[in-house]
Amino acid sequence: MTTTAGTASNRRFLTKLTVIATLGGLLFGYDTGVISGALLYMKDDLALTSFSEAMVVSSLLFPGAAFGALFGGRIADRLGRKRTLLLCGAIFLVGALACALAPSVAPMVVARIILGFGVGAAAVTCPLYLAEMAPADRRGRMVTINELMIVTGQMLAFATNAALDHFIKDPHVWRIMLAVAAIPAVTLLIGMLVLPDSPRWYAFKGRMDDARSVLGMSRTPAEAAAEYDVIVHHTHHMLSSTRSPLTIIRDVPWIRRIVLIGCGLAIVQQATGINTVNYYAPTILEQSGLGVSAALVATIAVGVTSVVTTIIGIVLLGYIGRRAMLLTGFAGVAASQAALALAFVLPESMMRSYVILACMVAFVAFVQMFIGTCVWLLLSEIFPLNVRGFAMGIAVFVLWCTNALISFVFPLLNSALGSTGTFGLFVLVNVASWIFVYRSVPETKGTTLEELEERLEAEHTDRFAAVPVAA
C-alpha cells in the first residue's frame, strides 16, 4: 500500500512531530560526541589515567545505553512511545547536569551511566515512534531524520567544544561543554507534551478509536481509513496470542531469525569503527602532530561531513534500496580504512596529519551516507508488532554493547598494534560485515509495516519449512 503526500495540514503535523521527536536523536548525538573534546581538559582536571579515561567514555555506553535500550524497548511497549520519550527527556536533563557538576571520576561515571540510560532508551524509541507514525512512502526519510539529528548533535558538540575552547580560557570549560545538553533536553520534554502516541501502539493496546484519530492527523481521510483497516486486521492476527515477547521470540523460528538479523545489523554498524572517530578524533589528530586547539577545529570537519553525507543518504533512500545502500557503504568503509591504515606509516609531518584527517573524513562519509541512514531505519521496520519494542530493545542493547567494547578496547589495540594494525583489523571486520548483509539482510523499501511483516513471515516460514526435521 502506498500513500500520497496528504494535505498541507497532514504535512505540517508530520513535520512538527519529526522535529520534536528527533530532539532525542540530537541529544543522543551531542552526549556521545561532546566527550571527545571534554576529555582533553578533563584529563588534567580529574587526573584521569588511561583506565579511568576509558571508564568515563564507555560507561555511557555500557552499562548506561545498553541497558537503557534493553529496558527502553519494554517501557515503550508498556507506557507508550510518547511517555517513554518524555522520560528520556527528564533523564537527559538530570544526566547532563550531573555530568557537568561531577567533582571526581566516580560521580562522573555514575552520571554518565544515568545519561547513557536516556541515550539507549531514546535510541530505541525515537525511530520506533517515527516508523509507526509515518506513511509508507515517507517512512524512510522520516526515520532517517533521526540519524541526521544524531550526527547534527555530534557536529554541534564538536563546534561547541571548539568555540568554548577559543572563547573561555579556563581548565574547567569542559563542565560548560557537558551542561549545554540540558537545553535540548528541556525542549524535548515540553515538545512531547503536545504530541499523541503512535497509531500502532494504540492498536497494540486495543485503543482503536485513538489509533483512527491519530491516523486522521497525518493522512487524508481515504488513506487513514484504508490504513486503519489494515492495522485492525493485522493487529487481531498478530495479537491473538497472549504469550510474552520473550516466549514468542524463543518459540517462533521466523521471528527468532529476524531478531538475530537485527542483532547482526546492530553489530556490523558499530563494527565499522565509526565511534573510534566520534570519541577519539581529537586524540588521534593530536597524536598525529596537531595541537589541542587545531585538533578540536579539525574535528569539526568530521562533524560537518557526517551531517552533509547523512542528508545525501536520506535523499538516496528515496531512490535506492536498503540492501544496495548497505553493500555500497561497507565496501567504501573497508577501502577508506585501508587508506587510513597506510596513512599512518607516512613520515611524520603536517601533511601526514591532513592526509589522516582526509581518510577519516572519507571513512565517516561512507558510514553516514550509506550505513548510518539504513541500519536504524531497518531496525525500526523489520520486527513484528507483537515483539517490536522488546526486539528492538534487544538489538539496540547489542549495538551499545558492541559500541562500548570497541570504544573501550580501541586505545588498548592502538597501543598494542599501532594505528596501522588497528585500522587494518577494522578492514577485515568490514569485509565480513559486507558478506553478512549480502547473505542475510532483507529489503524493506516501499511497503507498509504490516505488509512487510506478512512478507517476512511467509519468506522465513517457508525457509524453515523447507529444512528437513531430524527424526
Per-residue pLDDT reduced to its tens digit, 229-274: 988 888 876 666 667 888 999 998 999 999 999 999 999 999 898 8
- What is the reported pTM? 0.80
* pLDDT tens per residue across span 267-283: 999 989 887 776 667 77
Concatenating the DSSP letter of every residue in 266-277 gives: HHHHHHT-HHHH
User: Residue 462: in which H helix or E strand, if any?
Assistant: helix 449-465
The grid coordinates listed for 240 are: 491473538
Query: Residue 1: its pLDDT value, please?
Result: 43
Query: Residue 288: its pLDDT value, please?
Result: 66
Instruction: Map 113-132 to HEC letters.
Output: HHHHHHHHHHHHHHHHHHHH
**% of the chain with per-residue pLDDT over 70:** 93
Residue 320 has pLDDT above 60, yes or no: yes
Residue 141 has a CB neighbour count (10 Å cut-off) of: 18
Residue 233 has a CB neighbour count (10 Å cut-off) of: 11
Phi then psi dihedrals of residue 20, to 5 deg: -70, -50
The domain defined by 9-195+241-460 carries CATH number 1.20.1250.20: yes
Residue 471 has pLDDT above 70, yes or no: no
- Identify the band that residue 4 occupies on the pLDDT scale cut at 50, 70 and 90: very low
Residues 359 and 336 sit within 8 Å (Cβ to Cβ): yes
- Helix 50-59 vs helix 105-133: crossing angle, to nearest 10: 30
The mean-pLDDT minimum among 74-78, 111-115, 138-142, 280-284 falls in 280-284
* pLDDT tens per residue across span 408-465: 788 788 778 887 898 899 999 999 999 999 999 999 988 888 888 888 888 866 555 5
| 3 state DSSP class of 377 | helix
The grid coordinates listed for 91 are: 533523564
Q: Amino acid letter at 301?
A: A
- C-alpha 196/C-alpha 16 separation (Å) is 12
**Sequence spans of domains, the chain:** 9-195+241-460
Compute the CA torsion angle 236, 238, 239, 244 (nearest 10 deg). 180
Residue 391 has pLDDT above 90, yes or no: yes
168 vs 329, more confident? 329
Q: What is the DSSP letter of 18?
A: H
- C-alpha 421/C-alpha 442 separation (Å) is 33
Residues 351 and 286 sit within 8 Å (Cβ to Cβ): no
